[in-house]
């Protein structure tokens, strides 16, 4: 097998790896880079038979639109549904790709390749690692992976019952230069949210991602324990509808401790796409919370929002009972270099605002080095190649059999 990392050998995001066996060729992920300085790759001219998408994060699937539409894109069904949700909500073009769905742990064939998707723990739901076999060789691609979320058992299972005879491991290393000290796992985040909202005198806003399902569950559990109502917007309500088709363990808008705040803009999307949303708008109506209700009893609510919620937050700022902002995503977004992230400058300003109680509660979607070491030690790959990291050159200090492959370099196994 021949392998080339087109992009991602020394950056986080924009991952694109090509694996070729004879005349058959596949891509592992086809991500949109997170950095403006990332090298350009001409995806449209790559000669491949299929693309495997590990999970529905932009930096892993974001360039599927550049592919020729007849190239099939393999992805979990829920992951694909969540990608479509974002397109509809953001008024983007519908993806013209030919999607094919796989099931966790069920091997499937693409030409000479045998592929087995392994469901993994990550901040995106429906995330997979892939075992790719051909010519008697076995490649394992970690995708984005961790052990400390709500699906951590999957990671532990992989360590206890490792896949044998791995010739090559592509191992993500997002956390090689970051630490996970403050909140070591999702449970710790849930506890922190609970502590903040338990005796609140004003409303709390949690700033996170509507596609971080683990975090929605943490917020919900904290609310239930504290006797508060979790308010979600229409986008989050629809995401949860998708997830609940697969598992009923996540809260839905019909649950008594959940209410939906219907922003005008998102409501217009529902009206404009009745075929896509079905009867959502009608059902949602019964579970709405009105703005006046939030104003009348703010301490009864936790609002699950985003950076763009700053206007709503503003309304609740006051000296006597500062409004809680629970910042629950990567702190790097607040470093002043994310002007494209709508509302981030306003959230940054709230950190110094006496009318705001700014709290951080987040744990990463990625495994810290110690967990990656446990996985690598269990899999015992003949070659370990860094991907999705800015510290490829450090891998040699932490792992055995490391081969640093640069973008565009070809290697044969
Ligand atoms: Zn990811």
Q: For residue 211, how far is its CA from the centre of ligand 1 (angstroms)?
A: 11
Q: Say how many Å lie between the CA of residue 321 and the centre of ligand 1.
A: 37
The Å distance, Cα 291 to ligand 1 centre, comes to: 34
Q: How far is the CA of 127 from the centre of ligand 1 (A)?
A: 8
pLDDT along the chain (413 residues), means of 10: 97 97 97 87 92 97 94 98 92 86 98 98 98 98 97 98 98 87 92 98 97 98 98 97 96 97 95 94 96 98 97 96 97 86 93 97 96 98 98 97 97 96
User: What is the Cα 277 distance to its own chain's centre?
Assistant: 23
The rounded Å distance from CA 57 to ligand 1 centre is 5
For the chain, the maximum distance between any two Cα atoms, rounded to a whole number of angstroms, is: 70
Q: Map 100-168 to HEC letters.
A: EEECCCCCEEECCEEEEEEEEECCCCCEEEEEEEECCEEEEECCCCECCCCCHHHHHHHHHCCCCCCCE
Residue 90 pLDDT: 82
User: Which DSSP category does 35 fall into?
Assistant: S
Q: How many Å apart are CA 114 and CA 398, to the nearest integer?
A: 30
Give the angle subtended at the CA of 53 by the CAs of 52 and 56, to the nearest 5°: 165
30 CA from centroid of ligand 1 (Å)? 12
Is there a contact between 389 and 367 (Cβ–Cβ < 8 Å)? no
How many Cβ atoms sit within 10 Å of the Cβ of residue 220? 23
Q: Measured between alpha carbons, how far is 161 from 154 in angstroms, rounded to an integer?
A: 10
Rg, Å, the chain Cα set: 22
Instruction: Provide CB contacts within 8 A for 24, sequence distance 6+.
Output: 49, 110, 111, 112, 113, 134
How many angstroms is it from 232 CA to the middle of ligand 1?
23
- Residue-by-residue DSSP string for 209-260: -TT-HHHHHHHHHHHHHHT-EEEEEHHHHHHHHHHHTT-TTS--TTSTTEEE
Q: What is the pLDDT of residue 402?
A: 98
SS3 347: helix
Task: Report pLDDT for 171.
Answer: 98
pLDDT attached to residue 360: 97
Cβ proximity of 241 and 252 under 8 Å: yes
**Ligand 1 centroid from CA 286, angstroms:** 34
pLDDT at position 56: 97
C-alpha 365 to ligand 1 mean position (Å):
7
pLDDT the model gives residue 337: 82
120 Cα–ligand 1 center, Å: 11
Distance (Å) from CA 85 to ligand 1 centroid: 17
Name residues with Cβ closer than 5 Å to ligand 1, which is an ion.
57, 144
CA distance 216 to 101: 25
Identify the DSSP state of 25: E
What is the Å distance from ligand 1's center to 295 Cα?
Answer: 36
Q: How remote is the CA of residue 384 from the centroid of ligand 1, in Å?
A: 20
Measured CA to CA in angstroms, residue 280 lies from 19, 250, 274, 356 at distances of: 42, 17, 9, 34
């Amino acid at each position: 097998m021949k392998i080339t990392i087109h992009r991602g050998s020394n950056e986080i995001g924009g991952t694109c790896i090509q694996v070729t066996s004879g005349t058959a060729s596949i891509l592992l992920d086809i991500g949109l880079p997170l950095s403006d300085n990332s090298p350009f790759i001409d995806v449209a001219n790559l000669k491949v038979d299929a693309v495997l998408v590990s999970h529905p994060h932009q930096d892993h699937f974001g360039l599927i639109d550049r592919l020729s539409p007849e190239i099939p894109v393999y992805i979990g069904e829920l992951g694909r549904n969540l990608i479509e949700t974002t397109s509809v909500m953001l008024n983007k073009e519908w993806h013209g790709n030919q999607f094919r769905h796989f099931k966790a742990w069920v091997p499937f064939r693409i030409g000479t390749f045998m592929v087995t998707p392994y469901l993994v723990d990550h901040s995106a739901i429906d995330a997979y690692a892939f075992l790719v076999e051909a010519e008697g060789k076995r490649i394992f691609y970690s995708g984005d992976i961790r052990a400390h979320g709500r699906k951590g058992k999957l990671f532990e299972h992989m360590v206890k019952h490792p896949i044998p005879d791995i010739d090559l491991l592509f191992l993500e290393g997002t956390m090689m230069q970051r630490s996970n000290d403050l909140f070591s796992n999702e449970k710790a985040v849930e506890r922190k949210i609970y502590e903040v909202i338990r005796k609140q005198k004003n409303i709390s806003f949690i700033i996170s991602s509507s596609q971080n399902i683990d975090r929605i569950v943490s917020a919900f559990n904290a609310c239930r324990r504290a006797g508060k109502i979790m308010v979600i917007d229409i986008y989050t309500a629809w995401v949860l509808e998708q997830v609940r088709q697969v598992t009923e363990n996540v809260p839905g808008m019909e649950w008594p401790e959940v209410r939906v705040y219907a922003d005008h803009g998102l409501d217009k999307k529902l009206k404009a796409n009745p075929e896509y949303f079905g009867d959502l708008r009608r059902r949602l109506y019964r579970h709405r919370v009105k703005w006046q209700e939030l104003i009348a009893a703010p301490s009864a609510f936790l609002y699950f929002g985003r950076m763009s919620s700053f206007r709503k937050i503003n309304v609740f700022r006051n000296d006597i009972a500062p409004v809680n902002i629970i910042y629950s995503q990567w702190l790097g977004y607040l470093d002043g270099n994310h002007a494209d992230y709508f509302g981030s400058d306003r959230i940054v300003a709230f950190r110094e605002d006496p009318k705001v109680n700014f709290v951080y509660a987040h744990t990463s979607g990625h495994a810290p080095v110690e967990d990656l070491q446990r996985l690598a030690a269990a899999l015992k790959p003949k070659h370990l190649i860094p991907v999705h990291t800015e510290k490829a050159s450090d891998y040699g200090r932490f792992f055995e059999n490391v081969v640093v492959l640069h973008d565009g370099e070809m290697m044969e196994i």
